[in-house]
Amino acid sequence: MKISVVTAVFNRVATVSDSLRSSVAQRHGPVERIVIDGGSTDGTVAAVQGFGEGVAVLVSEPDRGIYDALNKGVALATGEVVGFLHADDVFNDDEALTRVAAAVADPSVAAVYGDLVYVSRGERPHVVRDWRAGSYSAAKLRHGWMPPHPTLYVRRAVFESVGRFDTTLRIAADYDWMLRLLLAGHRVAHIPAVQVRMRTGGVSNRSVGNVLRKSGEDFLALRRNGFGAVAAATTLTAKNLRKLPQLLPRG
What is the predicted pLDDT for the residue at 202? Answer: 57
Candidates 14, 21, 4, 17; CA nearest to 94 is: 21
Instruction: Give me the percent of the chain exceeding a pLDDT of 70.
Output: 95
- Residue 37 pLDDT exceeds 60: yes
What is the predicted pLDDT for the residue at 245? Answer: 84
What is the predicted pLDDT for the residue at 92? Answer: 97
pLDDT tens figures, 221-239: 999 999 999 999 999 999 9
Candidates 31, 23, 34, 184; CA nearest to 110 is: 184
Any residues with CB less than 8 A from the CB of 107 and at least 6 apart, and which?
none
What is the predicted pLDDT for the residue at 212? Answer: 86
- In terms of Cβ atoms closer than 10 Å to its own Cβ (0-12, 13-18, 19+), residue 247 is exposed
Right CATH for 3-246 from 3.90.550.10, 3.30.830.10, 3.60.21.10, 3.40.50.720: 3.90.550.10
Q: How far apart are CA 135 and CA 44, in angstroms?
A: 37
- For the chain, the average pLDDT equals 93
The predicted model gives 47-61 an average pLDDT of 97
Q: How far apart are CA 151 and CA 92, in angstroms?
A: 10
What is the predicted pLDDT for the residue at 30? Answer: 95
Domains in the chain: boundaries = 3-246
120 — phi, psi (to 5°)?
Answer: -70, 160
Q: How far apart are CA 126 and CA 236, in angstroms?
A: 28
pLDDT tens figures, 195-220: 999 998 655 555 566 788 999 999 99
pLDDT tens figures, 133-167: 999 999 999 999 999 999 999 999 999 999 999 99
